[in-house]
């Protein structure tokens, strides 16, 4: 009977990358809360925009209904981001257990974060105030953490660990 293969230890770079990813996801929660607070400060303007857009299609729409729909839309968006953050944490967990597809998926997520940060840095910024500044800064920090994690996952030792073989 052949002895069981000795599992390879997780490289320090991969462990660190997982911690960076978990931190990036945590900062993402801060970003979501700050963005929702920024939108809460502008809820009247958002409801007015919704009312103006829908007035022709729905003549019976009242401003109170538009405000309710704007609040529901913001809540649904926040819940969606929380669910996606949980899914991201599960993918980080799987990456930490050697799943190469998880590493690839997280690399794509880091690109998504980078594109969002570029928009934050060079965009016009329709929502202002301190909460919007916190959300923007959190997005930048999140991108830096994700970029560091991706870099660590593609270093020589990490690259070899993600290749197929006994763990």
* pLDDT single digits (tens) 109-162: 999 999 988 887 777 555 567 877 888 889 899 999 999 999 999 999 999 999
Instruction: Count how many domains the chain has.
Output: 1
66-80 residue pLDDT tens: 778 878 888 898 899
Q: Do the domain assignments include residue 88?
A: yes
Q: Do the domain assignments include residue 91?
A: yes
Contact 29, 129 (CB under 8 A): no
Q: Has residue 3 got a pLDDT over 70?
A: no
Q: Do the domain assignments include residue 6?
A: no
- How many Å apart are CA 56 and CA 60, to the nearest integer? 9
**Residue 56's CB: how many other CB atoms inside 10 A?**
8
Torsion angle of alpha carbons 90, 92, 97, 101, nearest 10°?
Answer: 100
Q: Average the pLDDT over each of 27-31, 40-44, 94-98 and give the range with the smallest value.
A: 40-44
pLDDT at 127: 56
Task: Tell me which residue has tokens 């978990």.
Answer: 22
pLDDT at 53: 80
Average pLDDT over residues 95-113: 95
Q: 104 pLDDT band (50/70/90 cuts)? A: very high
Average pLDDT over residues 44-56: 78
Q: Do the domain assignments include residue 150?
A: yes
Q: Do the domain assignments include residue 4?
A: no
Q: Do the domain assignments include residue 66?
A: yes
Q: Do the domain assignments include residue 1?
A: no
Task: Tell me which residue has tokens 């590493």.
Answer: 103
pLDDT at 166: 61
pLDDT at 126: 55
What is the separation, in whole angstroms, between the first and last Cα of the chain? 20
Average pLDDT over residues 82-106: 95
State the sign of the Cα–Cα–Cα–Cα dihedral 77, 81, 86, 88.
positive
> Could you say which DSSP state residue 127 is in?
S
Q: Do the domain assignments include residue 27?
A: yes
Tell me which residue range forms the domain holding 126: 12-162
Contact 150, 22 (CB under 8 A): no
Average pLDDT over residues 5-33: 91
């Amino acid at each position: 009977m052949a002895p069981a293969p000795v599992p390879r230890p997780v490289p320090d770079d991969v462990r660190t990358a997982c911690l960076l990813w978990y931190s990036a996801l945590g900062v993402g929660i801060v970003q979501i809360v700050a963005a929702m607070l920024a939108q809460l400060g502008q809820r009247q303007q958002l409801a007015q925009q919704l009312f103006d857009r829908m007035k022709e299609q729905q003549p019976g729409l009242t401003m109170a209904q538009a405000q309710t729909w704007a609040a529901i839309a913001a809540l649904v968006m926040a819940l969606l981001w929380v669910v996606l953050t949980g899914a991201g944490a599960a993918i980080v967990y799987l990456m930490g257990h050697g799943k190469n597809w998880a590493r690839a998926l997280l690399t794509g997520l880091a690109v998504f974060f980078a594109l969002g940060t570029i928009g934050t840095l060079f965009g016009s910024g329709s929502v202002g105030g301190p909460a919007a500044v916190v959300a923007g800064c959190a997005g930048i920090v999140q991108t830096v953490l994700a970029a560091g994690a991706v870099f660590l996952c593609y270093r020589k030792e990490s690259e070899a660990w993600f290749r197929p073989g006994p763990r």
